[in-house]
């Protein structure tokens, strides 16, 4: 078994990944600032090594990469790298010392699409600074893998879903009140004809993907992979499904996008980013090369998360009956 260091292992994906790795017999080290708690309780958290490092502060002092290397990892899973200089810093410290470095990118390296679903063969065309940062890191890591043999793999999660946080809703944002509105059988307004898409992925499926990439190292090193559910969902289809979970007949109205977005207040910017992208991605490469098979559809992932939000009182309404 391997010694695996997860940078940012207490977050969404790590909450599912750490227990999976422990169950498989790996030695796990979770590196975090110490402020975050896992989203889900599990005995595995008492079986791992927790190391507190403030990445930003350690990078400013030039020590972060060395601190990670000093943990003697076989594998590093980097969940929280957002700019190229940060990634270059840690890679230089790990060069020649690790068997595998897995970088968490994002489907936001894609912008608008010509064909759907998009595949990894489509060139990144990010439309915001977050996507541009991730795309820049991917490009550099893949060049390092090809020219200098650094064992890097990049994976691109979609809209991550799981117990403990609000899934992107049918209006393309994380406002929990949208779900409460549906529970009340109030009218939901969508843009245009509601045919824009969002593409979720359950955090446990991302964890599954990471393990498959580790176990199929030869097929994953030097490659980039989409990491999403089998299919995206339209805003309209998504909304109709949620209404019906609660035994409600869908009540949906439509407005032109430019008029509709003005009604969303604090959620407008986040909504715009999701809706104008209309994410839809293929996982065929992951399926063929790694044997990745998502356990959850997009709707199943949202359903599980929504039930937890109702139990916690964040979404007001009775338990759904799928």
Instruction: In whole angstroms, give the CA distance from residue 81 to residue 245.
Output: 37
Write down how long the chain is.
322
Q: Is residue 318 part of a domain?
A: no
The CATH number of whichever domain residue 135 belongs to comes to: 3.40.50.720
What is the tens place of the pLDDT at every residue in 285-318?
Answer: 999 999 999 999 999 999 999 999 998 899 986 6
Which residue segment(s) compose the domain that 180 sits in? 163-199+231-279+298-311
N- to C-terminal Cα separation, the chain? 40
- What's the domain count of the chain? 2
320 pLDDT band, cuts 50/70/90, is low
**Of residues 112 and 94, more confidently modeled:** 94
194 & 235 share domain:
yes
154 & 244 share domain:
no
**Facing residues of 161 across strands?**
202
Give the pLDDT score at 34: 76
Give the gyration radius of the chain's Cα atoms. Answer: 20
Q: Is residue 285 part of a domain?
A: no
81 & 130 share domain:
yes
What is the tens place of the pLDDT at every residue in 84-101?
Answer: 999 999 999 999 999 999
11 pLDDT band, cuts 50/70/90, is confident
Has residue 322 got a pLDDT over 50? no
Phi first, then psi, for residue 310 (nearest 5°) are -65, -45
Give the pLDDT score at 155: 98
Has residue 24 got a pLDDT over 60? yes
170 & 275 share domain:
yes
DSSP per residue, 236-273: HHHHHHHHHHTT----EEEE-HHHHGGG-GGGHHHHHH
Place of tokens 């998502």: 294
102 & 192 share domain:
no
Phi first, then psi, for residue 248 (nearest 5°) are -105, 145
Helix 235-245 with 298-311: angle, nearest 10 deg:
50
218 & 107 share domain:
yes
What is the tens place of the pLDDT at every residue in 38-84?
Answer: 767 778 888 899 999 999 999 999 999 999 999 999 999 999 999 99
125 & 192 share domain:
no
109 & 79 share domain:
yes
**Of residues 115 and 221, more confidently modeled:** 221
239 & 219 share domain:
no
What is the tens place of the pLDDT at every residue in 124-174?
Answer: 999 999 999 999 999 999 999 999 999 999 999 999 999 888 999 999 999
Q: What is the overall mean pLDDT for the chain?
A: 94
The CATH number of whichever domain residue 306 belongs to comes to: 3.90.25
138 & 195 share domain:
no
Give the pLDDT score at 36: 62
Quote the percentage of the chain above a pLDDT of 90: 88
Q: Is residue 263 part of a domain?
A: yes
Q: Is residue 27 part of a domain?
A: yes
Q: Is residue 291 part of a domain?
A: no
């Amino acid at each position: 078994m391997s010694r695996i260091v997860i940078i940012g292992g207490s977050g969404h994906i790590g909450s599912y990944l750490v227990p999976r790795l422990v169950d498989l017999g790996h030695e796990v080290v979770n590196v975090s600032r110490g402020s975050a708690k896992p989203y889900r309780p599990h005995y595995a958290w008492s079986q791992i090594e927790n190391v507190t490092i403030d990445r930003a502060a350690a990078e400013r002092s030039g020590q972060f990469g060395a601190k990670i290397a000093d943990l003697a990892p076989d594998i590093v899973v980097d969940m929280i790298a957002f700019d190229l200089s940060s990634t270059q810093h840690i890679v230089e410290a790990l060069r020649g010392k690790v068997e595998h470095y897995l970088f968490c990118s994002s489907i936001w390296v894609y912008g608008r699409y010509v064909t759907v679903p998009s595949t990894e063969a489509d060139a990144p065309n990010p439309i915001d600074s977050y996507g541009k940062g991730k795309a820049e890191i991917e490009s550099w890591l893949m060049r390092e893998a090809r020219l200098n043999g650094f064992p890097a793999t990049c994976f691109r999660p979609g809209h991550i879903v799981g117990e403990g946080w609000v899934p992107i809703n049918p209006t393309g944002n994380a406002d929990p009140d949208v779900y409460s509105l549906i529970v009340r059988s109030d009218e939901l307004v969508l843009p245009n004809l509601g045919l824009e898409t969002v593409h979720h992925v359950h955090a446990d499926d991302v964890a599954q993907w990471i393990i498959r990439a580790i176990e199929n190292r030869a097929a994953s090193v030097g490659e980039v992979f989409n990491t999403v559910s089998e299919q995206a969902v339209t805003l309209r289809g998504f909304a109709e499904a949620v209404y019906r979970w609660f035994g409600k007949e869908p009540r949906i109205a439509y407005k032109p996008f430019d008029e509709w977005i003005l009604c969303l207040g604090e959620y407008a910017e986040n909504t715009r980013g999701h809706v104008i992208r209309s994410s839809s991605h293929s996982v065929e490469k992951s399926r063929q090369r790694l044997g990745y098979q998502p356990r959850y559809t997009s709707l199943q992932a949202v359903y599980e998360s929504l039930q937890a939000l109702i139990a916690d009182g964040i979404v007001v309404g009775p338990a759904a009956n799928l």
